[in-house]
């Protein structure tokens, strides 16, 4: 039986550390921000999504997400839609005033309900109906 030389073990350990570090660097996406309960913001292209394979629930806020706030179980998204529908999402969204207007989305992370796209005035009404005036203060 041949005995391994100690420097072979050191070289193998260094190689494994190198492979793990390179793998982590390649899979780390600084544009990916977890928003809680499975929701994630992706920076390129800027969108928010949630996908649950167990019950086939999919929530998708298409590009371009300008900003978002998350408070408790809620996410409010400010979006300027792309000129054309996203290849990422097969849904077709109706933008009431066209694609050159800023729209808002409301997401309940607990129920996975999504409202939008809507104008700011419609968002204010929705938040009042849901007794979430605190979220209105966060928008200003």
Residue ranges of alpha helices (H) inside the chain are: 6-27, 120-129, 133-139
Rounded mean pLDDT, 21-32: 54
Q: Structure pTM?
A: 0.73
Nearest to 113 by CA among 65, 57, 62, 68: 57
| More confident of the two residues 116 and 83 | 116
Helix, strand, or coil (residue 22): helix
Query: Cα-flanking dihedrals φ and ψ of residue 133, to 5°?
Result: -60, -25
d(CA 117, CA 93): 8
Return the top range by mean pLDDT from 30-34, 90-94, 117-121. 117-121
Query: Where residue 54 falls among pLDDT bands split at 50, 70, 90?
Result: confident
Please state the domain extents for the chain. Answer: 30-139
């Amino acid at each position: 039986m041949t005995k391994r030389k100690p420097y072979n073990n050191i070289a193998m350990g260094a190689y494994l550390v190198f492979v793990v570090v390179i793998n982590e660097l390649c899979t780390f996406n600084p544009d990916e921000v977890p928003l809680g309960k499975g929701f994630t913001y992706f920076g390129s292209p800027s969108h928010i999504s949630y996908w649950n394979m167990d019950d086939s629930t999919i929530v998708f806020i298409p590009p371009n997400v300008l900003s978002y706030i998350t408070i408790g179980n809620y996410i409010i998204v400010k979006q300027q839609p792309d000129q054309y529908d996203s290849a990422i999402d097969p849904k077709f969204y109706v933008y009431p005033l066209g694609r050159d207007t800023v729209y808002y989305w409301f997401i309940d992370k607990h129920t996975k309900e999504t409202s939008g796209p809507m104008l700011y005035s419609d968002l204010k009404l929705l938040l009042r109906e849901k007794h979430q005036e605190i979220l209105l203060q966060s928008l200003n």
